Structure 1
Amino acid sequence: MTVAHQHPADGRRLALARLNAAFEAGDEGAFEAALRELDGDRQARATAGMQRVSELLLAALTRFRSESRIAALAAREVPEARLRLDHVIGITADAANRTIDIIEQLRPLTDATARRAAELADSLAGGSHDAIRAYLEDVQQNATRIRENLMEVLLAQGFQDLTGQIIRSVRTLVDEIEAILKELACSAGVNLSLAEGGTTGALQGPAVPGVTSGTVSGQDDVDDLIAGLGI
């Protein structure tokens, strides 16, 4: 058997009818009972209303936090991550190129030193200049060793090509994520200006051109950053 649920308004009308009937009949006990029923109904409706307001407020705050996070990612954090990657590519390329330039400048010097030492050693052969000849032989050997080490350093600079390729692939992914976030934000009606004035706590490091948040500017900041990394 199906039980019909009584509408709250119908319950209030019945309670008012009982209150009126008790008043007309002069039944004080019934009148007080009807008043308590009406008061309980009022409190229940007030409690339900407060719960509804709390639910709406919580939903609004949750939505605001979500929209703020999306806005921060799309408007600031992803673009700054891209700038950081570009900066890493730039400084590693500069360091590699500078190292290669220095090696290229030193190689002729070491070659000339080794060649000159060999010539002097040959010219002194058969003479009594044993100490000078031994020294020149050492110079020749050292120059050869230096030349070999410089070649090792030169070959090691190939890391920049590999890391550059990897970072560029990550940067491409960041570009795609940024585009998706902005499209999502626009379709959801998120105001990207919500991200203005915020700070990024996760991305911290040396100063990067174009990036104003999450950078360290002094030794104290560097010490704090190292401590935060558990080093």
Structure 2
Amino acid sequence: MKNIKIKQIKALLKAMEKEDYDKASQALDEIIATRDDNLLEQVEQIAQNLHDTLEQFGADSMLLQHTKHGLPDATERLEYVIETTEEASNKTLSAAENAIALLETLESHVTDDSQKELIGKAQSEVTEIMMAQSFQDLTGQVLNRVIMLVTSLEQSLMELINKSGIHIDDIPDPSDSEEERKAQEMKGIGPNVTKSSQQNAVNSQDEVDDLLGDLGI
């Protein structure tokens, strides 16, 4: 790589001292040309590094599969968690409100002070349940922000995949052995947490009994 030399600067200064503007202009042009050469070489190096990075990116099959399958799956799971927890929270709040109304009705028919005291304690406990459920809104907001971050990451990776010359449809699906390995890793971690994974799940005790009956148990 060429560098601006001291003698080029000295030649510029000497020409300016002698008021030889032609030589000064020539010396300045040489300095600018040297600087432009350095800048061009740096840009070329950056471009080459970017090209190499995109090639390595395209060769990383695990990263490609995570981008095509893993991140969308994670988003779906988070959305399902929000949906189910919100549904459970609404049911709990509705039941708590009904319980409060029943306790108030019961209190109006009770004259014994000790029984009224017990009803008051029950009302306080139900109110605590309702207060606890109010945190569902905060949990949902946090999870929604996580979903936004995951979605943004997915979009950025998809752009890099396109720039690397790979079409998303060309990325293979996980092999059967890979899916089996993931299924083994997920055992014991929790229940089915996506709508699609619920399709083959039993939904009631009657279905469980029928399933056991089919197995001869």
What TM-score range do you get, normalising by the shorter chain?
0.5 to 0.7
**Cα–Cα, structure 1 residues 65 and 206, in superposed 2: closer, same or farther, change >3 Å?**
farther
Structure 1 residues 191 and 210: alpha-carbon distance in aligned structure 2, compared to 1, 3 A threshold: farther
Cα drift, residue 181 of structure 1? 1.0
Amino acid at match of 1:209: T
Matched, 1:166 2:142: yes
Write the letter of the residue equivalent to 1:194: I
| Structure 2 residue ranges without an equivalent (≥5) | 1-54, 203-217
Q: Which residue of 2 is the match for residue 109 of structure 1?
A: 102
1:97 paired to 2:82: no
Sort the Cα spacing of 1:180 and 1:153 in 2 relative to 1 into closer, same or farther, 3 A. same
Tell me by how many angstroms 1:96 deviates: 0.9
Q: Report the Cα offset of residue 210 of structure 1.
A: 4.7
The 1:211/1:183 distance shift into structure 2, 3 A limit, reads farther
Higher CA-based Rg: 1
**Structure 1 residues 211, 180: closer, same or farther in 2, change over 3 A?**
farther
Q: Counterpart of 2:109 in 1: which secondary structure?
A: helix
- 1:88 is aligned to 81
What's the % identity of the aligned pairs? Answer: 26
Between the aligned partners of 2:134 and 2:59, the Cα distance in structure 1 is 43
Q: Which residue of 2 aligns with 1:69?
A: 62
In 2, are the aligned partners of 1:76 and 1:195 still within 8 Å (CA)? no
Q: TM-score, normalised by structure 1?
A: 0.52
User: 172, 183, 206: which one pairs with 2:191?
Assistant: 206
Equivalent residue letter for 2:193: V
Task: Report the residue type matching 1:164 in the other structure.
Answer: G
Aligned length: 137
Deviations 1:33-52 (A, max 9, x none): xxxxxxxxxxxxxxxxxxxx
8 Å Cα contact 1:82/1:174 also seen in 2: yes
Deviations 1:46-89 (A, max 9, x none): xxxxxxxxxxxxxxxx9599431232122100000000110111
Give how far 1:177 is off.
0.5
Could you tell me how far apart the structure 2 residues matched to 1:209 and 1:196 are? Answer: 19
Contact 1:75 1:195 in 2 (8 A): no
Equivalent residue, structure 1, for 2:174: 197
2:9: which partner in 1? none
